[in-house]
Amino acid sequence: MTTKLLTRTALSAGLLLALAGCASQDQAAGWQQDQTYKFTILHTNDHHGRFWTNRNGEYGMAARKTLLDELRADVAEEGGTALLLSGGDINTGVPESDLQDAEPDFKGMNMLGYDAMAVGNHEFDNPMDVLRKQEGWANFPMLSANIYDKATGKRLFQPYQIFEQQGIKIAVIGLTTEDTAKIGNPEYIGNIEFRDPKAEAKALIAELKETEHPDVIIAATHMGHYVNGNRGVNAPGDVALARYLEPGDLDLIVGGHSQEPVCMEAPNVANDGFKPGDDCKPDQQNGTWIVQAHEWGKYVGRADFEFKNGELNLVSYDLVPVNLKKKIQLADGSSQRVFVEKEIPQNSEVKAFLTPYQERGQAQLNVKISESNGKLEGDRNVVRFKQTNLGRLIAAAHMQRAKADFAVMNSGGVRDSIPGGAITYKDVLKVQPFGNMVTYTDMTGAEVLDYLNEVATKPVDSGAYAQFYGIRMDVKNGKVSNVKIGGKALVPSKTYRFTVPSFNAAGGDGYPKLTGHSGYVNTGFVDAEVLKDYLEANSPVNVNSFAPKGEIVYR
């Protein structure tokens, strides 16, 4: 289903004519006056290792290839051309991909015909040499204008790419969230500077207008879409970017990072009830359209434009589901999953290419290590808002391994839930895919109190929100009180040991940096391995034993 007749806020008639005249002078062989040109932007974002279908047969790159071929053929039949862009975050999320440095994903993107991608924050979950290897696998540019080498002051990635279609010159610039400096692995990004993408975009657009004279400017971003610019603790996102620039400077933002379908009910009002197959009207801010296609390749976004005499109109937009399913109730009272729309066949060539990668990963992962009597809760929309049994279980595993008094676990490091029943190594790696180390620090009670005042007060709806085990406290007005460790009141002069992932110990998520503390120790134990061992040793796991019972009280 498509949303029709979405027209960009027009520039004044005089300015349009002036721009059209300049463009025709700059490009003798370019577009023609009074001719209407059709071109389409196809887009995805936040792939996170989902090269294969999920357990319900949804999404996957082979079906996405079939859909993309169909969409391109449709565009060509209408006399248009298309570009395929990604809003970034190809890495991290599925063990079969993570264990192979996302090789199937990047090489699969070549087969699907991606033209460019924004560099996402999760591209830095691996050492820089892995990212450079991935860049070598990709037959398309990885774009970011605001990532710099601290030592040289030079950009680390290509800032933009020029595409010419039908005589229309299209500039695609890349931008990456400043939050990467906070949420990226400090061990890998210590020599990298993430500058303000808004300022970089403004300067780059001015430069492009002087040197390249593009007819259309698009930003492929990994910054997040926050309705009406209400970003909370997050760095400024796509709405702030559009509002920062001059009207008409940026035609379209193809976004990522917040992992949502950007569908609006009214200006600055999101359509929170959007479901696969529904109409989707993208956001528009300051003359700039903003689109995002949820996550994991669940959708391919399709934005159809018309270009005439220097004016760009968005004539239709659609989020096309990739074999997404819904549950329906059967006559006998049971339920069944059915496709929301007609099933998209998997492209045989892409499937054949990806199969060996899937099989190699499966061989390492589908080994039962434990079992439980219920769900261990790690869903993003739960674990980042309150204490959960899985967040606490992970903290308990770290605490036991380090022989600590209590444990702190950032919710952003809990990437999935574990369903009740058999638990495999794959389940563990889906929950903890980053390969962080368990660290501990010995501190006085007075120091612990200072630390908790910074960490326990992190806001909800962020990866910084902390899960705890072995400790009780009240949190009110940005301060903690009534702290008890091991059931006893905190003693300022006593020494306590607590664990925290190496990511946070190095200052990730804005936590206090602990690596220089005299009591700091990196145990060298990888978090996923510690969780795996704990689940094995405590099988069968009683999930209720880890359920929160009012240990952390927010007032």
Catalytic residues: 46, 48, 89, 121-122, 125, 222, 257, 259, 380, 384, 415
Helix axes 61-77, 103-112, angle to 10 degrees: 20
Closest CA to 319 of 350, 275, 360: 275
Q: How many whole angstroms from its chain centre is CA 251? A: 23
My answer on whether omega of the bond before 540 falls inside 30° of 0, hence cis, is: yes
3-state secondary structure 48-117: CCCCCCCCCCCCCHHHHHHHHHHHHHHHHHCCCEEEEEECCCCCCCCHHHHCCCCHHHHHHHHHHCCCEE
H, E, C per residue of 263-319: CEEECCEECCCCCCCCCCCCEEECCEEEECECCCCCEEEEEEEEEECCEEEEEEEEE
Collapsed DSSP state (helix, strand, coil) of residue 134: helix
Q: Supply 517's token pair.
A: 């503390």
3-state secondary structure of 537: helix
The CA distance from 102 to 52, in Å, is: 12
Q: Which of 517, 552, 523, 522 is nearest to 444 (CA)?
A: 517
- Between CA 437 and CA 330 the distance in angstroms is 48
Distance CA 157, CA 113 (A): 20
| φ, ψ of residue 402 in degrees (nearest 5) | -90, 0
Residue type, 531: L
**172 burial type by CB count under 10 A (0-12 exposed, 13-18 middle, 19+ buried):** buried
Strands 311-321 and 269-270: unpaired
CA–CA separation, 320 and 1 (whole Å): 8
Give the DSSP H/E element, type plus range, for residue 380.
helix 380-383
CA distance 381 to 386: 9
The residues pairing with 129 across neighbouring beta strands, listed in sequence order, are: none
| 92 close to 412: Cβ distance less than 8 angstroms | no
